[in-house]
Chain A
Amino acid sequence: GAGVSQSPSNKVTEKGKDVELRCDPISGHTALYWYRQSLGQGLEFLIYFQGNSAPDKSGLPSDRFSAERTGGSVSTLTIQRTQQEDSAVYLCASSSPDGLAGDRPPSSYNEQFFGPGTRLTVL
């Protein structure tokens, strides 16, 4: 597609239920990031994928959170046994061609393009 898409756009769930959030990155983008934006807060990094591997999971807040990516494309973020503090907007971003700038000359080559987000409300 033309941009990053996420589904669902809104999800309301009861405390203790599991939820799955989906991200479709821009075609050809090998790097994929998940962020969380709580009310009045800045974006908080959750996890980074390069292809199907996740070399950086340092932002996942607890073991109730997991994510996977298949075929180097679609990613799913799963939250088990949801809690009220999980309520937030979950944003996905992708970039090209990989996540490592290394000694590459500065450019907008690795800018991240964001999806519209999934607003999760845990009652």
Chain B
Amino acid sequence: EDQVTQSPEALRLQEGESSSLNCSYTVSGLRGLFWYRQDPGKGPEFLFTLYSAGEEKEKERLKATLTKKESFLHITAPKPEDSATYLCAVRGGYNKLIFGAGTRLAVHP
């Protein structure tokens, strides 16, 4: 059964303090790993798709990386506006997304 586990559940950072979020996955044949950002009261907003081990993608202060067992979302010098819940998902049958429980990130000035 396809499964996604995210850690930590919550992370508090000071502005400028870099860190990483982890997404471990178990899937029979990876057909895409997705990172989304979700702000309170809103739907998830697409960030990245990764397909093969070694692949990396960047967007502003965020960089996503992928190995055969996990993905990391690295946040460099975060700002308060980076505060959100970050969701990781893998593509399952019929392209449905199988999500982890998310990591709640709070960045304080």
Contacts and interface: CB of A to CB of B under 8 A. Distances in A.
Interface of A: 4, 31, 33, 35, 40-45, 48, 50, 55-56, 59, 91, 93, 95, 99-101, 106-108, 110-117
A6 to B, nearest CB: 8
A93 B44 CA distance: 9
Nearest to A40: B101
7 contacts: A35-B97, A40-B101, A42-B99, A45-B92, A45-B96, A48-B95, A110-B32
Contacts of A91: 43-44
Interface residues of B, number: 28
Q: 6 closest Cβ contacts across the A-B interface?
A: A114-B43, A106-B51, A42-B99, A42-B101, A43-B99, A56-B94
A111 B99 contact: no
Given A43-B87, A111-B49, A99 B43 contact: no
A45 B97 contact: yes
